[in-house]
Chains A and B, each alone.
Chain A
């Protein structure tokens, strides 16, 4: 494969696409699939065939369009978007291609949900068929890889990523360029690059959606990373609960190998990379990098003490680069458009965009990509459309079980790594759960502690016993049997678990409790002193 051959594939595909004047896109990512979008796609295809429109109209399955709550979603070449489409609507949609849109199903795309987003990672989601490499190439796919391999040295690639200001999208926000540079400099005969796709935060589905909608982007990012750090073997550690993402990744890897974009002697440059999938068996802690490495090695997935960091001694003791799906997905556009272009998006310390899975008590739930620095208010009220049923906003939870709950006072805070951490939450991998007045914050904290308790690996004592003891107290509070003494004890436990646990899971497990204690102490007090739940959630439970 040479740059010319890649360009030829791109041109051929674009021509083929343009030769069909009418196109209908049906979302076939997991959200819409679960509301029978496959049947919608089949019905549309049958209708097109039945009417003999084969040469004029093409129906294709595409990745996530974002507004998951309104699925199945269908869009047409003219940009018209339809929601809640059923197989029975197929005829009407095809009738409308040259006429007025079907008003019953139409949603306007000039609402803030679409207009306030800035798509980089999701630029191809919802427009290309994730199971065809040609469509990715047509959207300038693998051009960044080609540029890196033929025009840049590994050092230049790292310098470009460093200059872009990209930071790890898995949650902690470690500078990506710095990590790449460390792995590149670490001595080792065999280096590895690993993609962490063990997305496990409750309510979070960014990585799944990227893998289902645009898998080649992640593979291209990994290829560029492997070239930059000098790795020749790669693993994608993806959770087994994502069968569709796994299937599409397998397809994508096979297609890339066939075109000589993956495997030995890539693009005739002598650079080689093999990518294998490893399936997670359902342990949340395996998203922690050292546990993930242990799991890939076939061992029990428990974290180990760092240092040494995986960049120095990771998989099989060799220097290993581990980045999250979204981090890799950001790499090709940075190389394609230059670091300066990327660095002008976002804020001083947080560059680029962030994908969030918007869930909970908000009108528009789904997947959104926003520039860093946007306020939480804009995400919840403009993009999310606010709280439904006339209820009041209470809190927004970011960062999953490692994050915290932020109150209305924090809504105007910009979304960036530092400000979120300062407020007691974290950026996290991108889960964002909105809560209204019908949520009891103690109950929410108890839910997250339950999650941490069951997902603790049990290796270190503070996390193993601490999460159990904190969960016991939180349960007692929601059952109105806790005392002031228990509250004090819980604060002590939070401090201990945070400061003495072995890995990030334990160190951040108290965050949901600490943040709710900080912002919603009145709710705790009401439970303890007045045996009353301000949201009315716990009374019901206590009486049942």
Chain B
């Protein structure tokens, strides 16, 4: 087997990069400190490619491809930052803001929110899509945590961390399309869930204030997710 089977070289935004075969464009970009926006992807969890924010242009490819789910290839030329991509990203983030009820000024995650940070990065100051103002529920039945559907962007990180890392699979998604929502057990109140171990991993991987600890006031909910890569690594070593 020649070395080209193991090592690939490619260009991201004009920069020459090297990668191991099987790595994704996002892996390589991360290693080279090339920022690629994303909301559903989180290191340590499986990839779903659902938020579409990490879409990149690849020379010769007909379609835009998600950096998180696309493996590198020899000689690939990737553009992460064209005007077209940025305008798509702005629109997608706007879609999230108008889909739910995101009011930063009263949110526990104000100042520590990935959605908010993303809007700032993309320079979003106004919405040109109309707000939807849906009626959504808040589940505060758990003794330590709260789920606020108004702030949920359906990234499914909670679903994945609970299933893949904690092994409880308390979370899942129900409904279709615009009516989708995350649920605990079979759409039972979180507090009555028999599968939930109360570990709180879901809370800390949540990019917004949709999942938070009780007792936190506005802007007080900082998420700590440094544990995730280590846990994943330990799992892999044991296997």
* Interface residues in chain A, defined as those with a beta carbon under 8 Å from any beta carbon in chain B: 283, 300, 304-305, 307, 453-469, 472, 489, 492-493, 496, 499-502
Across the interface, do B177 and A500 meet the contact criterion of CB distance under 8 Å?
A: no
Does B201 lie at the interface of the complex (its beta carbon under 8 Å from any beta carbon of A)?
A: no
Across the interface, do B63 and A458 meet the contact criterion of CB distance under 8 Å?
A: no
Across-interface contacts of B66 in A (CB, < 8 A):
305
Q: Shortest distance in angstroms between A350's beta carbon and chain B's nearest beta carbon? A: 21
Across the interface, do A464 and B64 meet the contact criterion of CB distance under 8 Å?
A: no
A356 to B132: give the CA distance in the assembly, Å. Answer: 39
Across the interface, do A457 and B176 meet the contact criterion of CB distance under 8 Å?
A: yes
Across the interface, do B128 and A465 meet the contact criterion of CB distance under 8 Å?
A: no
Across-interface contacts of A457 in B (CB, < 8 A):
176-177, 180
CB-CB nearest in chain A for B68: A305
Across the interface, do B96 and A496 meet the contact criterion of CB distance under 8 Å?
A: no
Write the B126-169 contact mask toward A (1 if CB under 8 angstroms, else 0): 00111010000000000000000000011000000000000000
CB-CB nearest in chain A for B84: A499
Across the interface, do A468 and B52 meet the contact criterion of CB distance under 8 Å?
A: no
A496 to B92: give the CA distance in the assembly, Å. Answer: 9
- Selected from B50, B96, B129, the residue in CB contact (under 8 A) with A469 is B129
Q: Shortest distance in angstroms between B81's beta carbon and chain A's nearest beta carbon? A: 16
Across the interface, do A499 and B98 meet the contact criterion of CB distance under 8 Å?
A: no
Across the interface, do B92 and A462 meet the contact criterion of CB distance under 8 Å?
A: yes
Q: Shortest distance in angstroms between A343's beta carbon and chain B's nearest beta carbon? A: 28
Q: A469-B95, A496-B92 are in contact. Are A464 and B52 (CB under 8 A)?
A: no
CB-CB nearest in chain A for B100: A465
Does B43 lie at the interface of the complex (its beta carbon under 8 Å from any beta carbon of A)?
A: no
Residue with the greatest number of chain B CB neighbours at <10 A, chosen from A453, A461, A463, A472: A461
Across-interface contacts of B71 in A (CB, < 8 A):
307
Across the interface, do A453 and B48 meet the contact criterion of CB distance under 8 Å?
A: no
Across the interface, do B176 and A465 meet the contact criterion of CB distance under 8 Å?
A: no
Across-interface contacts of A493 in B (CB, < 8 A):
91
* Interface residues in chain B, defined as those with a beta carbon under 8 Å from any beta carbon in chain A: 47-52, 55, 63-64, 66, 69-71, 88, 91-92, 95-96, 98-99, 128-130, 132, 153-154, 172-173, 175-180
Across the interface, do A453 and B128 meet the contact criterion of CB distance under 8 Å?
A: no
Across the interface, do A502 and B63 meet the contact criterion of CB distance under 8 Å?
A: no
A496 to B180: give the CA distance in the assembly, Å. Answer: 21
Across the interface, do A499 and B129 meet the contact criterion of CB distance under 8 Å?
A: no
Between A and B, 8 residue pairs with Cβ closer than 8 Å are A305-B70, A461-B99, A462-B52, A463-B177, A464-B99, A464-B178, A465-B99, A467-B177
Across the interface, do B69 and A305 meet the contact criterion of CB distance under 8 Å?
A: yes
Across-interface contacts of A489 in B (CB, < 8 A):
128-129
Q: Shortest distance in angstroms between B72's beta carbon and chain A's nearest beta carbon? A: 13
Residue with the greatest number of chain A CB neighbours at <10 A, chosen from B63, B88, B98, B177: B177
Dominant secondary structure at the B interface: loop
Across the interface, do B63 and A499 meet the contact criterion of CB distance under 8 Å?
A: yes
Across the interface, do B95 and A460 meet the contact criterion of CB distance under 8 Å?
A: no
Q: Shortest distance in angstroms between A298's beta carbon and chain B's nearest beta carbon? A: 13
Q: A304-B48, A465-B99, A500-B55 are in contact. Are A458 and B173 (CB under 8 A)?
A: yes
Across-interface contacts of B88 in A (CB, < 8 A):
496, 499-500
A492 to B84: give the CA distance in the assembly, Å. Answer: 12
CB-CB nearest in chain A for B71: A307
Q: Shortest distance in angstroms between B143's beta carbon and chain A's nearest beta carbon? A: 29
Across the interface, do A300 and B173 meet the contact criterion of CB distance under 8 Å?
A: yes
Across the interface, do A500 and B154 meet the contact criterion of CB distance under 8 Å?
A: no
**Top 4 A-B residue pairs of the complex, sorted by shortest distance between their CB atoms:** A458-B180, A456-B177, A465-B95, A305-B49
Across-interface contacts of A283 in B (CB, < 8 A):
176
Q: Shortest distance in angstroms between B93's beta carbon and chain A's nearest beta carbon? A: 9
Q: Shortest distance in angstroms between A205's beta carbon and chain B's nearest beta carbon? A: 23
Residue with the greatest number of chain A CB neighbours at <10 A, chosen from B71, B153, B154: B154
CB-CB nearest in chain B for A302: B173
- Selected from A453, A472, A492, A496, the residue in CB contact (under 8 A) with B177 is A453
Across the interface, do B178 and A458 meet the contact criterion of CB distance under 8 Å?
A: yes
Q: Shortest distance in angstroms between A449's beta carbon and chain B's nearest beta carbon? A: 12
Across the interface, do B91 and A496 meet the contact criterion of CB distance under 8 Å?
A: yes
Across-interface contacts of B49 in A (CB, < 8 A):
304-305, 460, 502
Across-interface contacts of B48 in A (CB, < 8 A):
304-305, 459
Q: A472-B130, A489-B129, A500-B52 are in contact. Are A454 and B92 (CB under 8 A)?
A: no
Across-interface contacts of A499 in B (CB, < 8 A):
63-64, 88
CB-CB nearest in chain A for B130: A472
Across the interface, do A466 and B64 meet the contact criterion of CB distance under 8 Å?
A: no
Across the interface, do B178 and A465 meet the contact criterion of CB distance under 8 Å?
A: yes
- Selected from A304, A455, A461, A468, the residue in CB contact (under 8 A) with B51 is A461
Across-interface contacts of B55 in A (CB, < 8 A):
500
Across-interface contacts of A500 in B (CB, < 8 A):
52, 55, 64, 88, 92
- Selected from B52, B130, B178, the residue in CB contact (under 8 A) with A456 is B178
Across-interface contacts of A458 in B (CB, < 8 A):
154, 173, 175-180
Across the interface, do A462 and B130 meet the contact criterion of CB distance under 8 Å?
A: no
CB-CB nearest in chain A for B172: A300
Residue with the greatest number of chain A CB neighbours at <10 A, chosen from B64, B153, B173: B173
Across-interface contacts of A453 in B (CB, < 8 A):
177-178
CB-CB nearest in chain B for A499: B64
Across-interface contacts of B176 in A (CB, < 8 A):
283, 454-458
Residue with the greatest number of chain A CB neighbours at <10 A, chosen from B50, B66, B153, B175: B50
Across the interface, do B95 and A462 meet the contact criterion of CB distance under 8 Å?
A: yes
Q: Shortest distance in angstroms between A139's beta carbon and chain B's nearest beta carbon? A: 42
Across the interface, do B173 and A502 meet the contact criterion of CB distance under 8 Å?
A: no
Across-interface contacts of B99 in A (CB, < 8 A):
461, 464-465, 468
Across the interface, do A461 and B52 meet the contact criterion of CB distance under 8 Å?
A: yes
A305 to B26: give the CA distance in the assembly, Å. Answer: 15
CB-CB nearest in chain A for B177: A456
A147 to B207: give the CA distance in the assembly, Å. Answer: 59
CB-CB nearest in chain A for B97: A465
Known A305-B47, A454-B176; further 5 A-B contacts with Cβ < 8 A: A300-B172, A305-B66, A457-B176, A461-B96, A489-B128
Q: Shortest distance in angstroms between B184's beta carbon and chain A's nearest beta carbon? A: 15
Across the interface, do B52 and A501 meet the contact criterion of CB distance under 8 Å?
A: yes
Across-interface contacts of B50 in A (CB, < 8 A):
459-461, 502
Across the interface, do B51 and A460 meet the contact criterion of CB distance under 8 Å?
A: yes
